[in-house]
Amino acid sequence: MSRSFFHLHLVSDSTGETLINVGRAAAVQYEGISAIEHVYPLVRSAAQLERVISEIEAAPGLVLYTLVEEALNARLEAACRESGSPCLSVLQPVHSLLQSYLGVETKARPGAQHMLNAEYFKRIDAMNFTFAHDDGNLPDNLEEADVILVGVSRTSKTPTSIYLANRGLKTTNYPLVPSAPFPPQLLKVRKPLVVGLLASPERIVQIRQNRLLSLHADEGSLYVDRDAVAEELAASRRLCLKHKWPIIDVTRRSIEETAAAILDLYKEHRLRLVAL
């Protein structure tokens, strides 16, 4: 099936992350249609906005924006009308609803969500911890971790750990290797949530084969043998069931979906700890 394309202009007075996520989440719902993204972050002056408007006029399309300065909003909207480019303030409906509910006026603060508050430093601390304790590099005190991921090679442990760290959770991961002794300290942890990651043998073999090809390595090993991989996964499942660790099958899950499931499990885990 042939694909069609449209220009999607994302104009932000901050990093543009909100717009990128909203735009992509919406655009992906339309099969056979792809967005050509034009991202304009940190647009906070009239001169910067005029440069953006020039690009919109050169490639008319859909315009999404998050600008809190009224003068910039008005200028962008007027330019979009002139060029025939539909535009929408992504945050305005949310601001209106909040204002109606809370009964207070908003204050224009570009990039306010990225202020250096306690939550920001918590994420940075979690990222540093996670990078330092990746792929079996367990911390001296495992109780410092919030989440511990275990699973055979190529079950997305590292990218999932990094995503969780960006949400403020100190995460470490441990690869399950055939015939390798399992760290006894992992069996004694109380504070961290231990989660097992699994996937189908076919999926693991496919990812491992691609990995070996990228490294120009030999493919004739147990590492990519379907039966050997199936046994690895079965042993991993038995280990998790024995210690009553929750299991997540990542075969058809994105990193974001896996992380979301872990975050839900972590909330329940913390509630149980508080109740003890």
* Binding-site annotation, residues: 151-158
Q: Is 149 helix (H, G, I), strand (E, B) or coil?
A: strand
Exposed / middle / buried, residue 271 (Cβ in 10 Å: 0-12, 13-18, 19+): exposed
Cα separation of the two ends of the chain = 57
The DSSP output letter for 198 is E
Q: Which residue has the tokens 């339309």?
A: 30
Residues in the annotated binding site for ADP: 151-158
Distance of CA 16 to the CA centre of its chain: 15
Give the number of residues written for the chain.
276
Interatomic CA distance for residues 114 and 205, integer angstroms: 41
